[in-house]
Amino acid sequence: MKWRYFKQALFFAIVRLSSLIIVLALGGILFYVIINGIGVISWDFITKPPTDSMTKGGIMPAILGTLYLTSGAIVVGLPLGIVSAIYLTEYAKQGRIIRIIKVGINCLAGVPSVVFGLFGLGFFVVLMKFGSSILAGSLTLGFLILPTIIGAAEEALKSVPQTFREASLSLGVSKWQTTFRIVLPNAMPGILTGSILGIGRAAGETAPIMFTAAAFFTTKLPSSIFDEVMALPYHIYVLATAGTNIEATRPIQYGTVLVLVAVVLGIDLLAIIIRGYMRKNKKW
């Protein structure tokens, strides 16, 4: 008997410890970034471009670039992902072909991001002649987050009660109207929740944009989607590896990391607020 209680206590201890390690890891990273980065954060840091070979000044172009690229990725990935998920869950006859497509989507999710970067370089930058630009970068990031969005949207669509579909169809409302008027609005909060992960990833990725969108250094802000931009993750990479004076830029590196984390959290927060707003009517 005692042994059984001991086993239970041991098991609970392991479970608790695992959770604690995760929280500590996250907290540790955040703490480290904040401690090291907070010193350089100032109004000028987030509103001024870099100066003196990036050893001084701010990171405003990179912040803006990341916002552009992330928004672009959402514009590309969200509609495409939602429409694909609608096809997969609402329209397609479940069978072998659908299974193959789903395996394909899951494989896409496992493809290293640098491969997406090379694909973007080959296809969007060179073949489509978009050049290294916001457009090419957004498309590349959009494809990168597509599997996440499709997965989230599929789950959300499936969780809409079948009775809603039946009720709508039984009124003589067509299938696509049912899908767009009843199913999709009720799935939207779930789709956004799941997509947050993908969107956060789009903001933080370096490899997909280094060949397709990111500029090493530019003081000029983009005037169209065909311009290159600086971006936070790539800026960190550049400062840490290719800067003229790596030691001198260290505080700026930490500051940039802190801003990147804040931007990602900000995007998440925005999605959470939109989701909350959409959820207000949801009661079932």
Partner 1 sequence: MVDMDPNAIINMHNVSFYYGQSRALTDITMSIKKKNVTALIGPSGCGKSTLLRLLNRMNDLIDGTRVEGEILFEGKNIYASDIDPVEIRRKIGMVFQKPNPFPKTIYNNIAYGPKLTSTNNNDMDTLVEQSLKQAVLWDEVKDILNKSAMNLSGGQQQRLCIARALAMKPDILLMDEPTSALDPISTAKIEELIEELKKDYTIIIVTHNMQQAARISDETAFFYLGNLVEYNKTEKIFTNPDVKHTEDYITGRFG
Cα→Cα distances 178→90, 91, 160, Å: 10, 12, 12
Specify the residue, 136 or 187, whose C-beta has the smaller distance to partner 1.
187
Query: What is the closest distance, in whole angstroms, from the C-beta atom of residue 92 to partner 1 in the complex?
Result: 11
The nearer residue to partner 1, 132 or 168, going by C-beta atoms, is 168
Cα–Cα distance for residue pair 99/105, rounded to 1 Å = 10
Least separation in angstroms between CB 173 and partner 1: 5
Of 1, 170, 241, 247, the one binding partner 1 (CB under 8 A) is 170
Hey, is 116 helix, strand or coil? helix
Q: Where are the alpha helices (DSSP H) in the chain?
A: 2-37, 43-47, 60-86, 96-110, 113-120, 134-158, 162-170, 175-178, 184-204, 207-210, 232-241, 246-279
Near partner 1 by CB under 8 A: residue from 126, 173, 248, 278: 173
Cβ nearer to partner 1, comparing 29 with 92: 92
Minimum distance, C-beta of residue 163 to partner 1, in the bound complex (Å): 4
Instruction: Quote the tokens at residue 265.
Output: 């959290």
Evaluate whether 233 touches 205 at the Cβ level (below 8 Å). Answer: yes
C-alpha 118/C-alpha 152 separation (Å) is 26
Interaction between residue 164 and partner 1 (CB under 8 A): yes
Applying CB under 8 A, what is the total number of residues that bind partner 1?
23
Residue whose CB is less far from partner 1, 19 or 177 = 177
Regarding 177 and contact with partner 1 (CB under 8 A), the answer is yes
Taking CB under 8 A as the binding criterion, the range among 4-12, 178-186, 214-222, 232-240 that sits at the site for partner 1 is: 178-186
Q: Select from 2, 4, 93, 129 the one that contacts partner 1 (CB under 8 A).
A: 93
In the set 4, 171, 224, 241, which binds partner 1 (CB under 8 A)? 171
- Contacting partner 1 within 45-84 (CB under 8 A): none
Least CB distance to partner 1 at residue 191 (A): 16
Structure-token pair, residue 161 = 């009660």
Nearest to 116 by CA among 209, 18, 8, 9: 209
CA distance 72 to 137: 8
Contact code string over 180-219 relative to partner 1, x by CB under 8 A: -xx---x---------------------------------
Residue with smaller CB distance to partner 1, 165 or 275 = 165
Q: Is 220 in the site for partner 1 (CB under 8 A)?
A: no
102 binds partner 1 (CB under 8 A): no
DSSP structural state of residue 39: G
Backbone angles phi, psi at 56, to 5 degrees: -135, 180
CA of residue 30 relative to chain centroid, distance: 19
| Residue from 7, 16, 56, 282 binding partner 1 (CB under 8 A) | 282
Crossing angle between the packed helical segments 134-158 and 96-110, to the nearest 10 degrees: 130
What is the C-alpha to C-alpha distance for residues 237 and 140, in angstroms, rounded to an integer? 19
Q: Least distance in Å: CB of 184 to partner 1?
A: 13
How far are the Cα atoms of 38, 63, 82, 219, 237 from residue 246, in angstroms, in the given order? 19, 20, 43, 20, 11
Which parts of this chain interact with partner 1 (CB under 8 A)? 93-94, 161, 163-174, 177, 181-182, 186, 281-284
